[in-house]
């Protein structure tokens, strides 16, 4: 039997906590896989960051109203995928929420609700149907002035998928990649028959995981993503406002304490977890049931922290 070497590394990456576990045949190879995964996170952050002025995305955000902006095939495909999730979720997932995200970030800084006019102005600049993607020329254009793309709801999932792909290419037979709660596992873990992922209790006073997910003895690859406002929110006018925005209304999502999605890829889990957080339990569950191999575990606000599961979720719960 070949040797099994497991190693892991943790670092801050893409504004959050990242951890990579690699299973290979040699200690050196495991280290190389982990390093390659973190390098990939950095490359993707340099391309997709909303805040770095020299990212490829920032160039689009600056120029795409004035003229069609030619982008890399990679960015183009991420934008296309994002729009697909917008259509599937009836607009709940929308990467054009940039102007609204900016508005609420500022509201949080001064702890004041934004005024009606500013909210209406930001809303008029949001909407995936105003994003013009031309596959023939690989260009992006904004139909309305002041539009901005924010990939915060999907970029981490994409980065996790990329890291897994690179690790496999470099000889990892198994592994787990976690980027701020966007997790993907592949292959067999050492000394166990499945990868285990702890789900954080939305009641942060409780340090024990609320549930343990088992990924996934009979499937080659599985991913998990959680969206919720119990860690990331702003306070505006004394009110807690989620960093996840309901595009149709323009304010923070408030229908759910948190939602965890299980799907074959991390990009899908990431996009769907944001969408379901916006949609709320009923419509969110409806969306997930349309995906044959995706499952959801939802935690409602009212009644306090009730758990709702999609039809096949139990097979992933330990
Ligand atoms: P997540 O933690 O994956 O649910 O992503 C939340 C982040 O996605 C926010 O911080 C924003 O950058 C972005 N975002 C907020 N609302 C939406 C939305 N309705 N659709 C897509 N992305 C969003
Ligand atoms: Mg997401």
Name the CA radius of gyration of the chain, rounded: 20
Provide the edge-to-edge strand list for the sheet that holds 139-142: 69-70, 139-142, 131-134
pLDDT score at 231: 62
Section 31-36 average pLDDT: 98
Question: To the nearest whole number, what is the mean pLDDT of the chain?
Answer: 94
Cα 266 from Cα 161, distance rounded (Å): 6
Least distant ligand from the CA of 180: 1
Identify the helix (H) or strand (E) that includes residue 313: none
Reply yes or no on whether the pLDDT at 230 is more than 70. no
Atom of ligand 1 nearest to the CA of 180: 2
Reply yes or no on whether the pLDDT at 229 is more than 70. no
Q: Is the CB of 273 under 6 A from ligand 1?
A: yes
Reply yes or no on whether the pLDDT at 271 is more than 70. yes
CA of 243 to the centre of ligand 1 (A): 7
Question: Which residue has its alpha carbon closest to ligand 1 atom 8?
Answer: 153
Mean pLDDT check: name the lowest of 221-235, 236-250, 263-277, 303-317. Answer: 221-235
Atom of ligand 1 nearest to the CA of 86: 20
**Better-scored residue on pLDDT, 262 or 238:** 262
pLDDT score at 248: 95
Quick one: DSSP state of residue 201? P
- Residue 44 CB contacts under 8 Å (≥ 6 apart), including other chains: 14, 155, 158, 159, 162
Reply yes or no on whether the pLDDT at 87 is more than 70. yes
Reply yes or no on whether the pLDDT at 1 is more than 80. no
> pLDDT digit string (tens) for 142-165?
999 999 999 999 999 999 999 999
pLDDT score at 220: 74
Q: Give 219's pLDDT tier (boundaries 50, 70, 90).
A: confident
Q: Give 27's pLDDT tier (boundaries 50, 70, 90).
A: very high
Q: Backbone phi, then psi, for 144, in 5-degree steps?
A: -125, 140
Cα 65 from Cα 145, distance rounded (Å): 6
Whether the link from the prior residue into 303 is cis, omega within 30° of 0, is yes
CB distance 306 to 300 below 8 Å: yes
Q: Is the CB of 274 under 6 A from ligand 1?
A: yes
pLDDT score at 170: 97
């Amino acid at each position: 039997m070949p040797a099994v070497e497991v190693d892991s590394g943790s670092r801050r990456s893409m504004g959050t906590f990242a951890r990579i576990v690699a299973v290979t045949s040699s200690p050196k190879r495991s280290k190389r896989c982990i390093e390659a995964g973190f390098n990939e996170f950095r490359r993707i952050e340099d391309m997709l960051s909303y805040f770095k002025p020299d990212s490829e995305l920032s160039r689009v955000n600056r120029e795409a109203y004035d003229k069609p902006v030619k982008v890399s095939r990679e960015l183009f495909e991420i934008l296309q995928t994002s729009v697909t999730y917008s259509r599937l979720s009836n607009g709940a997932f929308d990467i054009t929420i940039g102007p609204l995200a900016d508005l609420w970030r500022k509201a949080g800084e001064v702890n004041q609700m934004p005024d009606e006019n500013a909210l209406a102005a930001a809303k008029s600049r949001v909407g995936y149907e105003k994003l013009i993607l031309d596959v023939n020329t690989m260009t992006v254009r904004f139909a309305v002035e002041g539009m901005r793309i924010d990939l915060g709801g999907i970029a981490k999932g994409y980065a996790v998928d990329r890291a897994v792909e690179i690790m496999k290419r470099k000889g990892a037979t198994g592994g787990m990649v976690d980027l701020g709660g966007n997790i993907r596992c592949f292959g067999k873990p050492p000394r166990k028959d499945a990868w285990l992922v702890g789900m954080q209790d939305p009641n942060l006073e409780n340090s024990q995981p609320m549930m343990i997910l088992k990924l996934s003895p009979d499937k080659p690859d599985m991913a998990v993503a959680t969206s919720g406002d119990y860690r990331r929110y702003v306070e505006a006018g004394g009110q807690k406002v989620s960093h996840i925005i309901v595009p149709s209304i323009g304010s923070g999502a408030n229908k759910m304490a948190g939602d965890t999605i299980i799907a074959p890829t991390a990009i899908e889990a990431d996009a769907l977890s944001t969408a379901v957080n916006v949609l709320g339990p009923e419509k969110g569950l409806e969306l997930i049931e349309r995906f044959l191999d995706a499952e959801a575990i939802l935690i409602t606000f009212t009644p306090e922290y009730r758990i709702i599961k999609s039809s096949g979720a139990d097979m992933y719960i330990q």
